[in-house]
Amino acid sequence: MPAISPQHDALPPDPARPYLSVVATARNDDHGGNLLGRMQIFVDSLDEQCRRLNLSAELVIVEWNPPGDRPGLRDALRWPAPGGRLATRLIQVPNQVHANFQHAQALPLFQMIAKNVGIRRALGQFVLATNIDILFSNELMELIAARNLDAARMYRIDRFDVDADMPASLPGVDQRLAWCREHVIRVNERVGTRNLRSGDFHRIYWDPSWRVVLLEALQEMGLVPVVTRKRLHLNACGDFTLMSRDRWEKLGGYPELEVFSMHLDAILCTAAHIAGVREKFLPPPMACYHVEHATGSGFKPEGQTQLNDRLARAGIPQVSNEQFHRWAVQMRRERKPMIFNNRDWGLANIELHEQTAA
């Protein structure tokens, strides 16, 4: 696929510009179970951390294809009061726009295209793409609030999966994080996912293809030139990828393939590395905590077969491990990122309804 240079929307210097944009997407459909409860924890915790650390930030929620028989997210959740350190923006992608995509009947939310909508319209100096069931450790937020992030870096962390039944009565972010640390199910590390209860270990992106295995073995021995061989932290990267807005713009966001979101985040991170945006891993206690969702609603090692079966029954395609590896090897060999999108990525050519959440 040829590289396409996306239009770059440079923002003029502005002292009032937020330092951080946090971008996520959702619709009020109870995806994964207790979606509103998980999302409320996410919003409340981020707001409290921004107030405590005096971090100028915005939360950009892209409400994709909202169900007509349920309240919109603006009415379904409590939002931070206006005038605080966390501004909230809701950008709505209506059903009429969603219906133009392939597989729109079977796939009600195109996660990475939706995140691109928010990334393209983000105002922050740095943009964090994440999901609505995530809590960030205080140590991580303190590092961000210090305003020393490097615009030439892509920041990654480990994700800790925790039990779904976090009590709604926990009074603040410190209590929620303490609960998370005591209820970890899995740790999603660079090389794979470790289940702390069963002891199982799922290695990420292992490819049995002899071609890829041979190529990587030759690279390790130094016999194949011109390859960036750094093993990136691609595990659960859709829950935390932090780069400057400028870098997101130059990469053209996530690949806007009309498929299930599997591997699209890893393609973006690989392209960023090939483009010279070097990964910076932030070790624990800097981390994010992911509140568990129903098996089959998203990827987790124990539910991979159930998820694949659900997608197959619905006729929803996804990028395979083998296809991801072919593209990754191609980018490494050619020393050039693959840019999948055109100049209108993030639905930049469509006027979308936006409102403040509060």
Low-confidence ranges of the chain (pLDDT < 50): 1-8, 207-210, 213, 224-229
- Residue pair 41/180 in contact (Cβ under 8 Å)? The answer is no
> Strand, coil or helix: what is 138?
helix
**What is the per-residue pLDDT for 293?**
81
293-309 CB burial, b ≥16 within 10 A, e <16: bebbbbbbbebeeebee
- Short-list 266, 307, 241, 258, CA closest to 97: 258
| Residues 63-121: tens digit of each pLDDT | 999 999 999 999 999 999 988 999 999 999 999 999 999 999 999 999 999 999 999 99
Strand partners for 58: 21, 87
Question: Domain 20-344: what homologous superfamily?
Answer: Spore Coat Polysaccharide Biosynthesis Protein SpsA; Chain A (3.90.550.10)
Distance CA 125, CA 293 (A): 31
pLDDT at 300: 72
Coil/strand/helix, residue 160? strand
Closest among 35, 22, 107 to 61, alpha carbons compared: 22
Q: What's the pLDDT score for residue 358?
A: 72
Per-residue pLDDT, 10: 58
In Å, the largest CA–CA distance within the chain is 60
pTM of the model: 0.91
Q: Which of 277, 189, 290 shows the shortest CA–CA distance to 233?
A: 189
Please give the Cα distance from 338 to 23 (Å, whole number): 23
Predicted local distance difference test score (pLDDT) of residue 1? 36
19 Cβ partners below 8 Å, 6+ apart?
A: 55, 56, 57, 124, 125, 126, 144, 147
pLDDT at 150: 98
For the stretch 181-206, pLDDT in tens is: 999 999 999 999 999 999 999 888 65
The residue ranges of every structural domain in the chain are 20-344
Looking at residue 92, its pLDDT comes to: 98
What is the pLDDT at residue 16? 76
Q: 159 forms bridges with which residues in the sheet?
A: 188, 288
